[in-house]
Amino acid sequence: MEVALLSLLFIPYLVIRYYLTDHDTPSDKDLKRFQKGIKLIKSRHFVEAHRFFDEAVRQYPKSAVAYAYRGKCQLAQENYYSAIYDLTQAVNRDNTLADCYLDRGIAHYHVEQYNEAFREFDKAVWHFRDENPDAYRWRALARIQVRQLPQAESDLRRAVSLGDENSFHLLCQPPFTRPVYQQK
């Protein structure tokens, strides 16, 4: 009898606890906390955004989002090695941030480290779950640099199927010769 009574009380306890528990991840909380800086980046005010996220990294040294957005600012200001450092710090703190892999790959690409860039773009494609055409396009550009042309063409075609017009224009140029059909 006591066991049945305890069981009946335990179920409402679990339900109440579930609804009262905070389900936001640390990255979700940081995204809410840093909305001002994220708006600065979206409005392309990279110098002010860099100052904002530099201060955020000082205040919240364990925040992957602060490092990721500071790295994004570094990338926009063409400080590629600093961007690689910040994005690596972000990935070390939270390895589920797909944008970090894409941005870190772009930085590697710009400093002509094409093999590292390809690896980062490959991780970005995986983390974006085949939904981001930019990751495919950048991976194709890295593959072109390391002379993997058939795979690069395949990546560009996948990006076109996801709606990327830049990939369509790349496919219309040499060394790619097969016709490309865009779906509407």
pLDDT value at position 172?
Answer: 87
Q: Confidence band (pLDDT; 50, 70, 90) for 21? A: confident
**Average pLDDT of the segment spanning 17-42:** 86
Q: What is the pLDDT of residues 97-127, one digit of tens each?
A: 999 999 999 999 999 999 999 999 999 999 9
Residue 20 has pLDDT above 80, yes or no: no
Q: What is the pLDDT of residues 78-89, one digit of tens each?
A: 999 999 999 999
% of the chain with per-residue pLDDT over 70: 95
Sorted by where each begins, the domain ranges of the chain are 29-95, 97-184
**Average pLDDT of the segment spanning 4-18:** 76
Cα–Cα distance for residue pair 155/107, rounded to 1 Å: 20
Fold of the 29-95 domain: 1.25.40
Round the average pLDDT of the chain to a whole number and report it.
Answer: 91
The answer for residues whose C-beta is within 8 angstroms of residue 11's C-beta and 6 or more apart is none
Identical topology for domains 29-95 and 97-184 = yes
Tracing tokens 């910040």 back to the chain, one arrives at 86
Q: What is the pLDDT of residues 142-163, one digit of tens each?
A: 999 999 999 999 999 999 999 9
Residue 165 token pair: 């017009």
Under CATH, domain 97-184 is a member of which superfamily? Answer: Tetratricopeptide repeat domain (1.25.40.10)
Lowest mean pLDDT among 4-8, 38-42, 86-90: 4-8
Q: Confidence band (pLDDT; 50, 70, 90) for 22? A: low
